[in-house]
Amino acid sequence: MQTPIRIGTRESQLAVWQATQVKELLAREGTAAELVFIKSEGDIDLKTPLYEMGVQGVFTRSLDAALLSGRIDVAVHSMKDVPTQLPEGLQQAAVLKRGPVYDLLVYNNDPALFRQKDYIAHIATSSIRRKAQWLHKYPNHQVHNLRGNVNTRLKKLKEERWDAAIFAQAGLERIHLRPENSVLLDWMLPAPAQGAIMVVCRSVDETAFHVCQPLNDVTTAFCVKTEREFLRVLLGGCSTPISALAEIENEELYFRGSILSLDGSRKVEIEKILPVDKAAGLGKTAAEELLERGGKAIADGIREAGKSPATGK
C-alpha cells in the first residue's frame, strides 16, 4: 500500500483550502495524501507589524523547517509569501494554475466618498505595497495596520470605525468570504506571484517532486517566475512597496512593474511587451531599467529609513 504524501500547511482557513486543493489534485493523479498542520510565526504573532518581524519567509519558515526535518513531504505556500531564494535543500515542485490576481476593497462606507477631495478616509491594511499605492492615489487618507487571517481581518473591519480594508481577491473568493460590499481595485498592481500557489519539496526527494509535476501549470509558472525575478533584482520583500504582474495573451508576455516610496509620494513604473519565446529574463531586464529610471533612489531611501518605518507592513 502506498504511503500517503504528507502535505504541510498553516492552520488558517485559506491555507487549509490551498493544501486541500493540492491533496485533491494529487488524488486525481492517483496519489494519496494527508494534511499535516504546522503553526507559523506570522500566525502566532498577530500584533507586530510584518516589517518588524524580519518579513522574508515569515509565513513559510516553519513549514520549510518541517520539510527539511522530514516531518512533511511537501509544503504548500501562497507564492507571494515565499522568498525569491528558497532555503538550501528545497526545490519548487509545482505552481498551480493561478487564481484572481487583484486586490479588493471591502468597505463600511460608500467608496464614492473617497473620491471627494476633502474627505479623509480611514483604510486598513498590513501591506506596505497596498498602503503606498493607496496613498499615491489618495495622499490625504489615513492608513491603519490590520493583521490576522482573512476571517480575523473581516471581523475587525466590522468592529472598527474604518471606512474600508484591502484584501487579496483570491483569498476572499477561494473560501467564499467575499462580501457584497466590496469592489475590485484593478488600478492597484498586485504583489509578485499574487494569486499563485506553490508546492515545495526537498531537493533530494525525487518521489515528491515527480508526483507533483502533473500539478504544475506552465503558463502560471512562467509568469510568476518573471515577476519574482523582477522582485529579486530590486532586492525587495514585504518591507518594500514593489508590485509586478506578468500575463500571457496571444503568445505575448505583457509585464507591468513598479516601486513606490513608503509614503506613496514617489513612484517609478515600467511596462514591457515581448513575444513569449523571447521573454526569458524579462523580469531582470525590466528591474534593471526601472532602477536606472529612478527606482534605485527610492529603494536606497527605503533602506536608509532603517528597519522601523512608521508605516504599515
Comparing 36-50, 101-115, 186-200, 283-297, the range with the smallest average pLDDT is 36-50
The residue among 87 and 199 whose pLDDT is bigger is: 199
User: Would you say residue 193 has pLDDT above 70?
Assistant: yes
Going from N- to C-terminal start, the domains of the chain cover 5-97+196-216, 103-185, 228-303
CATH of 103-185, one of 3.40.190.10, 3.40.50.2300, 3.30.420.300, 3.20.20.70: 3.40.190.10
Could you tell me if 245 and 189 are in contact, meaning their C-beta atoms sit under 8 angstroms apart? yes
Q: What is the model's pLDDT at position 147?
A: 86
User: Would you say residue 65 has pLDDT above 80?
Assistant: yes
Q: What is the model's pLDDT at position 236?
A: 60
Q: 206: which 3 cell numbers?
A: 525525487
How is the chain split among helix, strand and coil, in percent rounded to 5? 35, 25, 40
Q: What is the model's pLDDT at position 148?
A: 87
Give the pLDDT mean for 270-291.
97
Query: What is the C-alpha separation between 12 and 160, in angstroms, rounded?
Result: 22
Q: What is the model's pLDDT at position 304?
A: 83
Report which DSSP code applies to 299.
H
Fold identical between 5-97+196-216 and 103-185? yes
Q: What is the model's pLDDT at position 201?
A: 98
CATH of 5-97+196-216, one of 3.40.50.720, 3.40.640.10, 3.40.50.620, 3.40.190.10: 3.40.190.10
Q: What is the pLDDT of residues 159-173, one digit of tens each?
A: 998 999 999 999 999
Q: What is the pLDDT of residues 4-13, one digit of tens each?
A: 999 999 998 9
Q: What is the model's pLDDT at position 41?
A: 55
Q: Tell me whether residue 43 is one of the annotated catalytic residues.
A: no
Global pTM? 0.89
User: Would you say residue 142 has pLDDT above 50?
Assistant: yes
The residue among 41 and 11 whose pLDDT is bigger is: 11
Which is the CATH superfamily of the domain at 228-303?
Porphobilinogen deaminase, C-terminal domain (3.30.160.40)
Give the pLDDT mean for 57-85.
89
Which residue in 64, 73, 81, 103 is the catalytic one? 81
CB-count burial class (<10 Å; 0-12, 13-18, 19+) for 54: middle
Cα separations in angstroms, 109 against 113, 139, 156, 161: 8, 19, 15, 9
